[in-house]
Amino acid sequence: MQDGEVIIERRGTAGIIRLNRPRALNSLTLAMIRRITQALDGFARDADVAAVVAIGEGERGFCAGGDIRALHESARAGDGLAGTFWREEFRLNHMIAVYPKPYVALMDGITMGGGVGLSSHGRHRIVTERTRLAMPETGIGYVPDVGATWLLPKAPGEAGTWLGLTGLDIDAADAIHARLADIRIASSRLGDVIETLSGLPRGSSSGDVDGVLQLYAEPPGESRLRQNAPMIDRAFRFDSVEEILAALAGEDGEFAAETRRVLLTRSPTSLKLALQLLRAGRRSASLAECLGRELGACLRMLNNPDFFEGIRAAVIDKDRNPKWSPASVEAVEAAAVERFLQPAEPPLLL
């Protein structure tokens, strides 16, 4: 398949999946989710495929996430498309996590939201000097999904809590520190990486793929998250957003001040729900458990005014000035948050 929003090709023993919406930063549609799933299924059954490589077309990004404008329109229309999208996307995330062959994600450029789901669940996660990774959902009245509540709690200390609540983007060094990526390779060498992988013999192992990737590896650089880890761990160890904000107010330095300023711009409801989901993810036994919990929250977001307001401000009117309701974390009632944590009906089947 050489055209359309996803390009599927075989090069030697490498199966290659190219996201092909560069003008939209390769943001995902339901048709793309289905095409990627179909391709992965085919490559898994093809004995001549040694490894699968996922890459984004264009120089700006791997994948900026789901097409939130389409999700917004579906929620307005009540046509069920948004729910179908999330169910099939989450199944794909789980498929990547348990994929039987080496899966290599080239996270070059913007890798956000659903793009993290397509990459960070894989066995081989490559970042470059152009990588900007984020789970920015609290800024649009939504919550971290695509299994992020399984991934983020596995970051050192409270780095994952910082990422999930602030939604701020990070670079290659931070992504590796947060255990969302494994290795940095220069963007100019990615073509060479694919070419070398395409020459692997049938039946190659993840160890064989690691050997190829190490040929092109470069130092990741200094991680800002690592440098600020003591402050992040002190401030984000609490189980309430109010305590986190209070702790940040008592910290010295611009990093803490910036973090607090950003949190105060995010949806208060999203912050409280995201923290609950992250803490639940820390206690969870599997990715499947987290995805099922996230789906219940996502489906109920379709009736949350902050979801519509956040997308309006970010991608429709683009005024970057959302009016959240409630407007402060103190005004968000615990019962309102608990309603988002009810299981999805029907449950997610993986």
Whether the Cβ atoms of residue 159 and residue 282 lie closer than 8 Å to each other: no
Spot the catalytic one: 5, 67, 108, 145. Answer: 145
Is residue 66 flagged as an active site residue? Answer: yes
Q: Rounded to whole angstroms, how far apart are CA atoms 105 and 124?
A: 6
Collect all residues with Cβ–Cβ distance below 8 Å to 229 and sequence separation of at least 6: 156, 157, 159
In the DSSP assignment, the letter for residue 347 is P
CB atoms within 10 A of CB 188: 9
**Residue-by-residue DSSP string for 200-256:** PPTT--HHHHHHHHHHTEE-----HHHHTHHHHHHHS-SSSHHHHHHHHHT--SHHH
Spot the catalytic one: 67, 89, 137, 174. Answer: 137
Q: Rounded to whole angstroms, how far apart are CA atoms 175 and 134?
A: 9
Spot the catalytic one: 114, 122, 141, 310. Answer: 114
Is residue 145 flagged as an active site residue? Answer: yes
In degrees, rounded to 5, the angle at the alpha carbon of residue 160 between the alpha carbons of residues 159 and 166 is 90
* Dihedral sign of CA atoms 315, 320, 321, 324 in order: positive
Is residue 137 flagged as an active site residue? Answer: yes
Q: Judging by beta carbons within 10 Å of its beta carbon (0-12, 13-18, 19+), is residue 129 exposed, middle or buried?
A: middle
For strands 217-218 and 183-185, give the pairing: antiparallel
Is residue 292 flagged as an active site residue? Answer: no
Spot the catalytic one: 12, 56, 65, 66. Answer: 66
Strand blocks (E) in 67-148: 103-107, 110-112, 124-127, 132-134
**Residue-by-residue DSSP string for 252-300:** -SHHHHHHHHHHTTS-HHHHHHHHHHHHHHHH-S-HHHHHHHHHHHHHH
Catalytic residues: 66, 114, 137, 145
